Structure 1
Amino acid sequence: MSETLQTTGMSDAAAAWDAATSDADLLARTAIAVRAAGSALRERFGDVVRHRTREELMSALAANDDTALAILRPRLTQLRPEAGWVEDELDGGALPPGEWWVVDPAEGNVNHLHALPEWAVTATLVRENQPVLTVVHLPMTGETCTALSGAGAHLDGRPLRVSPTADLGLGIVATSQARPDEDEAVVRRGGSSITAMLFDALVVRVSVPATLHLLNVAAGRIEAFWQFAGARADLLPGALLVTEAGGRISDAEGRPWTPQSESFLAAAPGVHTEAVTTLSR
């Protein structure tokens, strides 16, 4: 998949950034920016936005993105002026060396347009292809989830821990559609995996966006989430949240996950092996 990446320039204000500032301080400042963008999007939330064509739909989605990015981009650029910026939240694969902002200005944007409350604003700083910090803000509930590599995951300051459940048959699991117009092979694989999980898990949830399911895994509300295909912006925030909350991340076959992987699995440790077995059928 082609990359649409841009390296940001350094402004006079950004040049004042103290290089000694810790990642914890950077996380706090990132959260302020993400919450501000969320507030702007919440002001746009209300009635269903009607559309008759794909072009009208794409225009409405872009309007939400632009509203959030007008706040996020200058603020995050000021925080890390030398970090690159990933232009397309649907892009996947590895990033070039250095630091990159991976942002989804309206995660679950289609839900926002349909007056459904399941949407978020996310920002993740990736350093040498490893997520360092992430902020996920849910404007409709006011909740903010954060994770800092090596320092845990938190929901409004409270530590998150994955579920202690050790039996997939007692667990709630979830999956999501990575993007519209997916390849037929991916669609069929996703459908068969849902069927398999309907036999082996207690309950299967299917909805978008992925990040909200991953937040629920990190919070111990559900036991596992899986997806075939995917993009950095919808998987990296949740991957860091789940890892820092004590969960396990892999591909659907149990191999180490990277943004180049063709599948993704996040699970509580007690059900991870069972989930891999189910998804590998």
Structure 2
Amino acid sequence: MSVPPKSTEAFSDSDLLDQTVTAVRTAGSALRERFGAVHHHPTRDHLMRALAANDDAVLEILRPRLAHLRPHAGWVADELAGGALPPGEWWVVDPAEGNVNHLHALPDWAVTATLVRENRPVLTVVHLPLTGETYTALAGAGAHLDGRPLRVSETGDLGLSIVATSQARPDEDEDVVRRIGSSITAMLLDALVVRTAVPATLHLANVAAGRIGAFWQFAGARADLLPGALLVTEAGGRISDAQGRPWTPHSDTFLAAAPGIHTEAVATLSR
């Protein structure tokens, strides 16, 4: 007597994470195959079409797989969107996190998928197709890199810490750009080294892995903050806004830090 296949809606969150890893890795192979020489972009329109082509190549594989895993979950179509989501479950996906790096033959890019339930990230997968590394986190069950547990830095001194920030999007509001510049200056005075680059998710993975002590950003989208927020939280880090208040998708600033330097980082960013 044959046994009927297990309904995807009956998956435990742990089972669902495993299936999501498989889907993201499969889709990531398509982006890896498109990586190579620097692309020349004579116009902004040409660049935007190239970015969209990368997204489409991944989503063609990834979206139906995730929809099969969670048929009733919503789908966030705009990877740059922010704010709270409607009630229920939603897939928040960035098919090419760091897409602009990919097109410029830089190695810092990834494919991410996060399941959000009632506006709380439940699980996330961040896959780096070039290296084959996969970061995962499951709410209440920790953060891992290829199955190895992750833990944030134990440092208690901002002055001994590498920190990082990222530009949330091109064509940022001038006030936000000036605020970013001031914050970098403040951190250059207080931290050991400041890294500034996109994408945000890879900086947050480094915070979760204890490689850097803190990451902050002004503005931002759900797709570039939620994966890393869950990774850092599950690795023992602290998430807040830049003033130390609880962070939500409505917040206009974001800070992830090792607990030992969170207060110092807030003080520096509040100057």
Give the Cα separation in 2 of the matches to 1:185 and 1:18: 46
Q: CA deviation at 1:33?
A: 0.6
Q: CA deviation at 1:20?
A: 2.7
Report what 1:151 is aligned to.
Answer: 141
Which letter does structure 1 place at the counterpart of 2:265?
Answer: A
Report what 2:206 is aligned to.
Answer: 216
User: What value does the CA root-mean-square deviation take over the aligned residues?
Assistant: 0.9
1:123 aligned onto 2:113:
yes
Report what 2:98 is aligned to.
Answer: 108
Report what 1:206 is aligned to.
Answer: 196
Of 130, 151, 160, the residue aligned with 2:150 is 160
Q: Extract structure 1 runs of 4+ deviating beyond 6 A.
A: none
Equivalent residues in 2 for 1:125-144, closer than 5 Å: 125-144=115-134
| Alignment deviations for residues 116-154 of structure 1 (CA, whole Å, 9 cap, x no partner) | 000000000000000000000001111000000000000
Q: CA deviation at 1:17?
A: 2.4
Equivalent residues in 2 for 1:1-281, closer than 5 Å: 17-281=7-271
Give the Cα separation in 2 of the matches to 1:18 and 1:252: 39
| Alignment deviations for residues 145-204 of structure 1 (CA, whole Å, 9 cap, x no partner) | 000000000000000000000000000000000000010111000000000000000000
| Alignment deviations for residues 201-238 of structure 1 (CA, whole Å, 9 cap, x no partner) | 00000000000000000000000000000000000000
Which letter does structure 2 place at the counterpart of 1:252?
Answer: A
Q: CA deviation at 1:18?
A: 4.1
SS of 2:95's equivalent?
A: strand
Give the Cα separation in 1 of the matches to 2:262 and 2:130: 31
Residues paired across the two proteins, number:
267
Q: What TM-score do you get using the length of structure 1 for normalisation? A: 0.94
Percentage of identical aligned residues: 82
SS of 2:195's equivalent?
A: strand
Q: What TM-score do you get using the length of structure 2 for normalisation? A: 0.97
Which letter does structure 1 place at the counterpart of 2:201?
Answer: T
SS of 1:19's equivalent?
A: helix
Gaps of 5+ in 1: 1-14
| Alignment deviations for residues 96-130 of structure 1 (CA, whole Å, 9 cap, x no partner) | 00000000000000000000000000000000000
Q: CA deviation at 1:16?
A: 6.5
Give the Cα separation in 2 of the matches to 1:95 and 1:89: 13
Gaps of 5+ in 2: none
| Alignment deviations for residues 233-254 of structure 1 (CA, whole Å, 9 cap, x no partner) | 0000000000000000000000
Give the Cα separation in 1 of the matches to 2:11 and 2:58: 26
Which letter does structure 2 place at the counterpart of 1:146?
Answer: T
Give the Cα separation in 1 of the matches to 2:139 and 2:24: 19
Aligned residues of 2:9 and 2:70 also touching (Cα < 8 A): no
Give the Cα separation in 2 of the matches to 1:80 and 1:19: 6
SS of 1:103's equivalent?
A: strand
